A and B are shown apart, each in its own frame.
Chain A
């Protein structure tokens, strides 16, 4: 039985293949197959996070953007400029509960400028 690959190594392999220009779907299928074969499906979320971390190190950022209303592509372009990313992939989440503004979550940081967050900060100012 071959030695189990660490999550970090797996993530690095996937990141390398994606940055090399391999079609991401193919790489992900390989990854999925490996995980099923080695019965490591439970580690999927952690591996995905590790992949995102490694890609961020290489200025390829996968971010979750939460807004109250649907946005257009100009937001992604502005965000890419502001966070100095070579490439930015945005997961859009529309959540009316944030009321307004934007929440940007990258693997390494979170920037929350939503109205809901500001109201929460105000409420946290209670003594």
Chain B
């Protein structure tokens, strides 16, 4: 053993020191470090799980948001379509109403014109009668002599029953 240079006493002491060191480390150092590492691992796991959960929730939320957006877009499209349709109907109704009103005005105007024409004709008729009567009176007053009157009377008596 001297040839190899191994000193058993020193070796023994070193092994003993190493064992004491190992025991001290195993008792006082490794457990806290191990527990700390465990703790860190657990935290990392927990964080990972939380992140996963958060990711899932985010995905779910995104899906729901997309669903809501899709629904809102569909409703908006419906509303626009309905509004366009109603606007078109209102325009049509307004056009029809205006047309009917215009036709009514024209018809009323025609009736009014016809009434005026009838009234004008009546007035003309009456004026003509007055003129004829007046002219007849004037002319016959001068034209009916006694002899003419005798003839008129004779004719009238012939008609009498």
Contact = CB atoms under 8 A, between A and B. Distances in A.
- The answer to whether A and B come from one shared complex is yes
A122 B156 CA distance: 18
Contacts of B130: 123, 126
Contacts of A108: none
A100 B152 contact: yes
Chain A interface, DSSP helix/strand/loop, else mixed: mixed
Contact of A100 (B125, B133, B140, B158): B140
A122 B128 CA distance: 11
Given A119-B137, A122-B132, A126-B125, A100 B159 contact: no
B136 interface: yes
A110 to B, nearest CB: 11
Contacts of B141: 99
Interface string B99-134: 000000000000000000000001001100110110
Interface residues of A, number: 24
B148 interface: yes
A101 B156 contact: yes
B25 interface: no
B6 interface: no
B45 interface: no
Q: Which of the listed residues B125, B126, B130, B144 has the most CB atoms from chain A within 10 Å of its own CB? A: B144
Q: Which 10 residue pairs spanning A and B have beta carbons closest together?
A: A113-B156, A100-B144, A126-B126, A82-B160, A102-B153, A100-B149, A78-B157, A69-B146, A127-B122, A101-B152
Interface of A: 67-69, 71, 75, 78-79, 82-83, 99-102, 104, 111, 113, 115-116, 119, 122-123, 125-127
14 contacts: A67-B149, A67-B153, A68-B149, A75-B157, A82-B161, A100-B140, A100-B153, A101-B149, A101-B152, A115-B136, A123-B129, A123-B133, A126-B129, A127-B125
